[in-house]
Amino acid sequence: MHHLRRGRFVATLATVSFSSLSKNHGNLLVIDAASEVLQVGWIEPNVSPCWIKLSSEAGTGLYQALAELAVSPNDAACFVFCEGPGSMLGIRTIATALRTWTALRPRSVYSYLSLELAAYALGKPGATLIADARRQSWHTLTLDQGGKPSEIQRLPTEDLPAGSVYTLAGVRSWTKLPQPAPQEVPYDASVLTTDLANEPLLRKTDDPDAFQPERPTYAQWTPRVHQSPSP
């Protein structure tokens, strides 16, 4: 499996669990801007996780959440964030903040995928979870009969697998939903630090950015000298 990070493909690193990460680091700051609700968690050793959830734009909501938690990015020994799929603007806003904070003081950054988080939380073998990928297509993840999630791939609506299909609550879709309409499942980042703390969901990244499963394509423009229209 490969991820596109800021215009280049790199091999996915080994995954680790949140419980393993928290044992090897001090204070952790978790930020999830994939949905309409910004979710920010602060985790200290031997203290129950504290979460703030705000229906705010990521740029202002992040600092509001930090103020409510009474913490600073400088207090964090490690960062964890959701790279998507989800709100591209929100995720890239958070990724920019992370790149700035780690440039000022180097620290580790780990990412997780919204569809993987929701899939592990759902725990239903054979289920397919989807998130909007624009242009009548969907980021798609399917749980096998053993409950193991597949790699995320981008599929057009007509190629979605038959059976139980789910979308994530609060994660917006611009593409028309497939029919019959998928069921909606909760999207709660706090399960990363509780029910799913031992699942291998986190990947270390040196270049935080929004998730893209494939290299973007662009229309090619060929310059030509302007000519007046033919009579």
Structural domain boundaries enclosing 128:
117-185
Tell me the CATH number at 90: 3.30.420.40
Q: How far apart are CA 16 and CA 80, in angstroms?
A: 12
Mean pLDDT, range 98-104, rounded to an integer: 97
Average pLDDT, the chain: 89
- One domain for residues 22 and 122: no
pLDDT tens readout for residues 172-182: 998 999 988 99
Give Cα 220 to chain centroid, integer Å: 30
Instruction: Give the pLDDT confidence of 130-157 residue by residue, as tens digits.
Output: 999 988 999 999 999 988 999 999 999 9
* Domains contained in the chain, number: 2
pLDDT reading at 117 higher than 60:
yes
Please report how the helices 88-104 and 58-69 are oriented relative to each other, as an axis angle in degrees rounded to 10: 60
Query: Do 101 and 129 fall into the same domain?
Result: no
Are 12 and 103 within one domain? yes
Q: What is the pTM of this model?
A: 0.86
Residues whose CB falls within 8 Å of the CB of residue 231, separated by 6 or more in sequence, listed in order: none
Task: Please report, for residues 127, 142, 193, 202, the alpha-carbon distance to residue 148 in angstroms, rounded to integers and kept in the order given.
Answer: 10, 8, 20, 15
124 and 107, same domain (yes or no) = no
Q: Confirm whether 230 is domain-assigned.
A: no
**177 and 82 inside one domain:** no
Is 41's pLDDT higher than 70?
A: yes
Helix then strand count (H, E) for the chain reads 4, 14
**Which pLDDT belongs to residue 220?**
63
